[in-house]
Structure 1
Amino acid sequence: MTHLSALLDFLRAAEALKHTTRVAWTSTGQQESVAEHTWRLCLMALVLAPEYPGIDVGKLLRICIVHDLGEAIGGDISAALQVHMPDKAEQERKDLLTLCAGLPEHTREEIVALWDEYAQAATPEARIAKGLDKLETILQHNQGAMPDDFDFRFNLQYGATYTTDDPLLRAIRALLDEETERRAREQEARVGSSRSAT
């Protein structure tokens, strides 16, 4: 039964993702947690999986579930700030190893292998997960009650490496880019009118 205690300890530590926030807000103005992002990423993968008949859906979902686990320790760092942090992935992997240290060896190895697969975009499932991760982020930014100084147009290039080669991801990206540009124009008009009113 010792391994059950270790599993519960891991799950307690992973609970931090429920209150670790991201640079995204929900449509009601609540700052999004990493766990909430992961949930909708998994939902995206599930509903889009029929478009990929050769993909191992179970593996795709497992990759999506673990892709941000290290953030339970180190937190989320926005893409805009990652430009100045070239070792971000390395630190996140170290945090993941710390988080998983008490797990049974086979469980720990499986989780770390899935995370590595995602980080390296080493398989079709990992590449789809990477692309969907970027698209879910953009979807949330476009849907959310973002602050007036949010840079929507940053998202027009964000994650492009992972969303251009696959036809489905490219098509979703095109729709989201249209939304992004619309949100940017709406924000400019709103901020401009509030400045002229003062």
Structure 2
Amino acid sequence: MTPDDLAGTLDFLRRAEALKSTLRSGATASGRQESTAEHTWRLCLMAMVLADGVAGIDGLKLIKTCLVHDLGEAVGGDIPATDPRAADKSAQERHDLLALTATLPPARRDEILALWEEYEAGTSPEAVLAKGFDKLETILQHNQGRNPPDFDYGFNLDYGARHTARHPLTAAIRAVLDEETRARMAVPTE
């Protein structure tokens, strides 16, 4: 790695740190808002423990896809699925990802962008699983979080359904989480 490549890579890593402070709409089990970095960490953990040995899946590529899927949020923040701006979310995240990765060596920048584009389009087996796991991690957090009394658990039942239906593993996990959601809906709010 050249000195310029190293400097650009360190700049990228410093700016990516913003994901630790980029808040999402979901709450943790302790009741505070979770960060995008925390969501991404558990998404990668899910991929590691659930997809190991799944036929036709490159585990390293799956983890890399999970790592980059929300990377653009370090620039523009998280846009919740219920936000009206979500209709343009993909274009905004791509723009932000390009800005964030601008200082990386071209080959690394191109790799990150290619993984992100595959994820968005769902064009590889790894992208299909990553997208499904992403939706499932969100539902898992909604079910596990200490949410406000007016939290709409019914949202979970439709959220990401077309993505979680694309692979038998994500469909099976979805069935379990949907039952958890229904149980959570049946508990009176405080």
**Do these two structures clear the TM 0.5 threshold for a shared fold by scoring above it?**
yes
Is 1:74 the counterpart of 2:76 in the alignment? Answer: yes
Give 1:142's aligned amino acid. Answer: N
Is 1:120 the counterpart of 2:121 in the alignment? Answer: yes
Give 2:38's aligned amino acid. Answer: E
Do 2:44 and 2:67's aligned partners in 1 also have CA atoms closer than 8 Å?
A: yes
Report which of the two structures shows the higher radius of gyration computed on alpha carbons: 1
Give 1:37's aligned amino acid. Answer: H
Shift of 1:66: 0.3
Secondary structure at the aligned position of 1:79 is classed as: coil
CA distance in 2, matches of 1:87, 1:165: 23
CA distance in 2, matches of 1:48, 1:145: 25
Unaligned runs of 5+ in 2: none
Q: 1:100 corresponds to which residue?
A: 101
Q: 2:47 corresponds to which residue?
A: 45
Shift of 1:190: 2.7
Q: 2:134 corresponds to which residue?
A: 133
| 1:14 paired residue among 13, 16, 20 | 16
Give 1:72's aligned amino acid. Answer: A
Q: Which stretch shows the higher mean deviation, 161-170 or 109-118? A: 161-170
Q: 2:163 corresponds to which residue?
A: 162
1:91-138 Cα shifts (integer Å, max 9, x gaps): 110000000111111111010011001000011100000000000000
Unaligned runs of 5+ in 1: 192-198
Shift of 1:41: 0.3
Q: 2:148 corresponds to which residue?
A: 147
Give 1:115's aligned amino acid. Answer: W
Give 1:22's aligned amino acid. Answer: R
Shift of 1:53: 2.6
1:155-180 Cα shifts (integer Å, max 9, x gaps): 10000011113221111101100111
Shift of 1:51: 4.6
| CA RMSD after TM alignment | 1.1
Q: Calculate the TM-score normalised by the size of structure 1.
A: 0.92
The size of the alignment, in residue pairs, is 188
Give 2:34's aligned amino acid. Answer: E
CA distance in 1, matches of 2:132, 2:60: 17
Do 2:68 and 2:112's aligned partners in 1 also have CA atoms closer than 8 Å?
A: yes
CA distance in 2, matches of 1:127, 1:165: 7
Q: Calculate the TM-score normalised by the size of structure 2.
A: 0.95
Give 1:126's aligned amino acid. Answer: A
Q: 1:190 corresponds to which residue?
A: 189
